[in-house]
């Protein structure tokens, strides 16, 4: 039997549906990257705030949904480690996005899929590796 999604799309509707699925995945990757880069920026703000206070100062950290009291010296390495892990995930998703963008370009070339208005820029989204500078954030 014909495996769903396993073979080549044959009808224009299947081609369009497959293309829309690729577009949806690219969009999801871009959204996740933006979300994680925001988290990296938030971690950077916390680390920057920690530089200005003494290491013995107490602070609170959410661990598994529970607010725990620690010192700045105890929390700093964990925040830095979390930030590094998030950066690694962002890099991995960027690689996935690059693959998906190449797949999308090949699909357009092979099937001549017409892109709707406003979808032109999605293919260049993979080159946005640099996080945007965080502005207007307030740390109390």
Give pLDDT tens digits along the chain (140 positions). Answer: 444 445 678 888 888 899 999 999 999 999 999 999 999 999 999 999 999 999 999 999 998 999 999 999 999 999 999 999 999 999 999 999 999 999 999 988 988 876 654 444 444 444 444 444 444 444 44
The pTM for the full model equals 0.71
- Spell out the residues 6+ positions from residue 119 whose beta carbon is closer than 8 angstroms to its own: 23
- Identify whether the C-beta of residue 131 lies closer than 8 Å to the C-beta of residue 37: yes
């Amino acid at each position: 039997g014909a495996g769903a999604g396993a073979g080549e799309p044959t009808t224009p509707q299947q081609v369009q549906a497959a293309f829309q699925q690729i577009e949806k995945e690219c969009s999801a990757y871009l959204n996740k990257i933006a979300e994680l880069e925001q988290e990296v920026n938030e971690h950077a703000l916390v680390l920057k705030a920690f530089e200005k206070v003494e290491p013995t100062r107490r602070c609170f950290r959410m661990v598994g949904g529970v607010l725990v009291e620690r010192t700045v010296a105890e929390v700093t390495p964990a925040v830095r480690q979390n930030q590094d892990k998030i950066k690694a995930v962002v890099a991995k998703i960027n690689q996935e996005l690059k693959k998906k963008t190449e797949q999308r370009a090949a699909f357009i070339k092979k099937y001549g899929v017409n892109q709707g208005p406003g979808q032109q820029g999605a293919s260049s989204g993979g080159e946005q590796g640099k996080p945007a500078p965080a502005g207007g954030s307030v740390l109390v």
